[in-house]
Structures are given as C-alpha cells and as structure tokens.
Chains A and B, each alone.
Chain A
Amino acid sequence: MANVKGNIRSFIVETFVLSDDTVLLDDDSFLEQGVIDSTGVLELVDWLEENFHIKVEDEEIVPENLDSVNNLSSFISKKIN
C-alpha cells in the first residue's frame, strides 16, 4: 500500500506541479488545499483507470473516494480487491 500511496503522490505532484513549500499530508483534502480543479478530477479519474485497470463509476466520483492520498489509496484497494 505504501507503494500505491507513493504512486498517487508522484502523480499529484508531477501533474499538478505543487510548489516546493507545499506540504501535502496523506489526509489533506485536495479540494481544501487548492491542489486540483474540476478538470483535474477528470485527469485523476483517467489516471486511476489507466494505471490500476479499474473502472471508476460516476457515482464513485465523490470526495470520500478521491479527495486525499489516503482516500484514493483506500478506494484503489477496494476496487482492486
């Protein structure tokens, strides 16, 4: 799971180019931190589907699944299993 979190973090940092002084904890909300915008969420969904070979249903596009490193990690784990 640590590896999944690492992957998520790399994707977020690389895709949304966080500044050097941005501290993003595993529980930090992407929304509250201003990390991504609405089209960013779609990029995130595309990345999840492509990298983890999962299908993200429309009703699954909610903060509880996608809005932090921890939420994403749990969601991926649930989908894969």
Chain B
Amino acid sequence: MLQCVFDYLIQSSQRFPGQPAIIHEGKTMSYQDVYNSSLALAGWLHSLNLESGFRCALLTDDPFEYVISYFATLMAGGIVVGLNTQTTGKSLYYVLQDCAVSVLFVQRKFHRDVNEINPAIPCVKYLVSESEWRARVDIQTAPVWVDIGRILDSLNAKSSPKLPTVTSGDIAQIIYTSGSTGKPKGVMLSHKNLIANTTSIVEYLALSEKDRVMVVLPFFYSYGNSVLLTHISVGATLVINQNFLYPNVILDQMVQYEITGFPGVPSIFALLLHRSSIYNYSFPCLRYLTLAGAPMSSKLGKRLLEAFPGVNIFVMYGQTEASARLSYLEPVDFDRKMGSIGKSIPGVTLKLVNKQGRQVGCEEIGEIVAYGDNVMVGYWKDVEETKKVLQDNGLRTGDLAKMDEEGYIYIVSRKNDMIKSGSHRIAPKEIEEILCEHEAVHESAVLGVEDDILGETIKACIVLKKDRNCTDKEIIRHCRINLPAFKVPRQVVFLDELPKTASGKIIKSELTGYWQ
C-alpha cells in the first residue's frame, strides 16, 4: 500500500527506469532521470532545515522543472503550491503571502512578475532559478538566489541524501482556486487524498505503462495535476505541450508520438473541432479522451464522436476540493446519456440533498454532496469557509443536480455565480472590483455568457459615473493591465443603471437581456 505521492515516482523508476517519463520540445527524461534529479533536489531542500510542511511554490511552465521540483518538495516533507503562470503581481503577492511560501522555484520568463513584488515578500527565503537571474531588489532584504542547475550538478553525484519521514495524512499540496468572495482559497490536499483519487482514475481509465498521454492542461490546476499523478503512477509517458495556441501542432504531435490518451476541457475540444484540420488526421493508437472542467454541450459531444470514431470518451466531473474527480460517465453511455456526469468514481459516494440535508428522490433537484478519501482536508487558514463546505455528511459541492431512474446524475446549475471559461473558474467579484477601480466606473456587474469555444465568456455591465465618458476599449485595456488575460471581459456594455432587488442586490439573471 502506497503511503505518499512520491512513492509513485520511486516505484515507476524501479519498474521502468529507462522508460521516457516526460517528452517536451524534443527532449526526453526517463523515469530514472526524473527520480535522480528529484532526489538530488529533495536533498538540497532538506538541507535548508526548513520547518516540516514548508511551502514551496512553483512558477514555471517548463514541465521538466515543474515535475522535478514537485516531487523533490514532497520527498523533502514540503507542501507544493503550483502557481498559475497567467498571473499578475497582485495575485502572486496574495498567494505567496497567504500560505507563507519559503521557497519559490521560478522560471526565467517569470522573473519580471517576481521582480515587481519581490521586496514585499518577507516569507520567501530562497528563490531558485536559472543562473541568469537579475533581480531589481535591495540586496539587504532579498532572499537567497539559488541556481537550480548548480544544485543538480553538485548533488547528482552524491549518494542518497537523508530525507524526513512523510506520512499519508500530511498535506502534500495547496491548490488555489477562485473563491466567490473574489479571494482565492487554498485547497489543502493530503497524500492520502491524492492517492485515493489517483487509484480510482487509474482503475476506470485502465491506465498502464503502455500509455502515452498528450498533456495540454497545466499542472497547477487540479485536472492537470491528476493527469500528472495518474500517468506517473503507472509508468506511462507524458508528452507535454501546454501552450495550446496552435491546435494543428498538437495534432501533429499526437501522430508523431502515437498518443493513446488525450485529456482536455470542452474548450480545447471545441478549438480542435472548429479551428484545426482534425478531419485530415487519423489516430490509430488513440484509446481514450477525457473531458472535464466545464459542462459540455450535446452538439460538441456529437461532433467529438464523429471526429474520434472508436475512441473511448470519458466525461468526468469533480472539484479541486475532491483532489479532482467525483464522477465519470462510461464511454458506452456517452451517446445514450449525453449531458450526464455519470455516476460516482470508485471509492466515492455521491448524494443529492435538499436544503435540510435530506436525500432527494429521482428527478428531484438537490445539491451534490460527496464523501470519500479524496475529499480535501480543508481550506488553508480558513476555518469558516471550510465549515461551510465540509459537513458531517461530506463535501457540499454547491452544484445542483438531479438523478435519473438509472442513477445517472445531471448538473442543473451552480449555487454560486462563478464563471467557467475554458478551464478557468472565475469569480465575478474579483473582476467587478478591478472595474470599479477605473476612475469613470460607478458600479459594475460581471457574468458569464454562452460561448461556442470557451463555454462561457465574460461580460461586464457598467454604469458610469455622472458626466463621465469611457469606451469599451478603455475598460478592456484597464482590465488587461490589472488582470490575467483569461479574466479580461470580452463584452462590455454600458447601462444607465443595474437591475436590483428591493434590498439593493443586483439581479444578474436580468442582465443577459441587455446585450444586443
């Protein structure tokens, strides 16, 4: 029985030492290479004498660096905090301070983001990067800069370093997810949580060392994270291209590397179907697709069946709070139960309950409540928010659904107004706050509107201050400066006033009608 997440890497490096673990931009690292580098880095991290459960943040889109730093941190008894690379100095500052990160791995291309805020992060003791780092900071207050190449070179030759004991109940990761208040929440996942989730997914996808997965999802999201762990656990090969800018490039790589599995969110598949030459390709080795992260329209589902004949398509549903996965729909039911998220994954119990917490009947709407070893420990330093979702009967997902007579679950709506755009979960409040910082904006309301590719795009409804003028371009520019690209509204509409209830609450459902 495996105890810790890094045991997956140890096991696979022993069983398949020469097997390619990661392929990226023509370079390959075998399981033995990944293990050796992770062990060396873990030894260095342990030598720093940081407290048990120290937080180590990863700001990189180099998959070699990410994976090695990830496993090294866990082996050294630390907690991984994968950072969204589409970030702003403000968001970065919030997360680093919130969980008191002491070691930050940062790729050269993100030096500028860190330089913006660097003097203001006293908790960060070590910054690990390439040798070309040039920091614009006061040397007296700066953390120690460390060259990752030098660490690996100096430690690779050494014998096995002494490492601490890590147990299954220890926290392995904190994954930040958008909170409805606009502030990100840190989801704490233990080794046990992640192992439970991984075991279940490996079972129903029937993954093995023969699989070669095309990875376009970033590892800092829980979906990408579970793709990483499930495939490392069986000794499969990850072919990684997380810049999903040119769909045809991905299709070429799928052919070149004889890809057997392709996990994605609906917007990725929509892009492949709408803006690539997919019908000119064939994928004889492709065994499965997985779809999760957002609802999929039946139109997209039918087109997927046409584009990938004979390929098993798994629809999956989950939350970061559940280490990723809660339910899946068997490929055999994909057409017959189109629109359903299926049934609970092995090891998880799902119930639909009413406001009183009682289970609802067939075809009645209730909130999905989940129970299983994959359910998070709680939110980092947030007892109140944890209490709201972790209750006696399990994790309250906030998603409303109904179950048919055969036990298949269909999501009806969400209890909160979070926007799902592409693979991103976005809190309208965060965007509304940025909009209101614009000197001409009196008040605003942000909502998601249907989009063929992204599922939802962001629409901003704005009331300007009296006698002030402003164009939609100015508003979008203001957002582009202050928000990551995926949070920038695509539509801006100016109104005389926002529709409100008698108590002054904005009625967002009425705002869709304003758009022309």
Q: Which residues of A contact B (CB under 8 A)?
A: 14, 16-17, 19, 21, 30-31, 34, 36-42, 45, 58-59, 61-63, 66-67
Chain A residues with CB below 8 A from B480, complex form = 16-17
Complex contact A62–B422 (CB within 8 A) = no
| CB-based nearest A residue for B457 | A39
Out of A16, A39, A59, A61, name the residue touching B453 (CB < 8 Å): A39
Given A17-B477, A34-B109, A42-B453, is A62 in contact with B485 using a C-beta cutoff of 8 Å?
no
Interface size counted on chain B using CB atoms at 8 A: 23
Complex contact B112–A61 (CB within 8 A) = no
Given A16-B485, A17-B481, is A38 in contact with B249 using a C-beta cutoff of 8 Å?
no
Q: How far is the CB of A46 from chain B (nearest CB, A)?
A: 11
Complex contact B245–A37 (CB within 8 A) = yes
> B409-441 vs A: 1/0 string, CB under 8 Å?
000000000000010000000000000000000
Complex contact B109–A31 (CB within 8 A) = no
Complex contact A40–B275 (CB within 8 A) = no
| CB-based nearest A residue for B485 | A37
Once bound together, how far apart are the Cα atoms of A16 and B484, in whole Å?
A: 11
Total contacts A to B, CB within 8 angstroms?
57
| CB-based nearest A residue for B247 | A61
| CB-based nearest B residue for A32 | B109
Chain A residues with CB below 8 A from B244, complex form = 38
Chain A residues with CB below 8 A from B245, complex form = 30-31, 36-38, 40-41, 63, 67
Complex contact A21–B112 (CB within 8 A) = yes
Given A17-B477, A37-B485, is A58 in contact with B276 using a C-beta cutoff of 8 Å?
yes
Q: How far is the CB of A23 from chain B (nearest CB, A)?
A: 12
Chain A residues with CB below 8 A from B109, complex form = 34
Out of A19, A21, A41, name the residue touching B246 (CB < 8 Å): A41
| CB-based nearest A residue for B280 | A59
Complex contact B277–A42 (CB within 8 A) = no
Once bound together, how far apart are the Cα atoms of A81 and B245, in whole Å?
A: 26
> B222-261 vs A: 1/0 string, CB under 8 Å?
0000000000000000000001111111000000000000
Q: How far is the CB of B247 from chain A (nearest CB, A)?
A: 7
Complex contact B276–A63 (CB within 8 A) = no
Once bound together, how far apart are the Cα atoms of A19 and B280, in whole Å?
A: 40
Once bound together, how far apart are the Cα atoms of A13 and B236, in whole Å?
A: 41
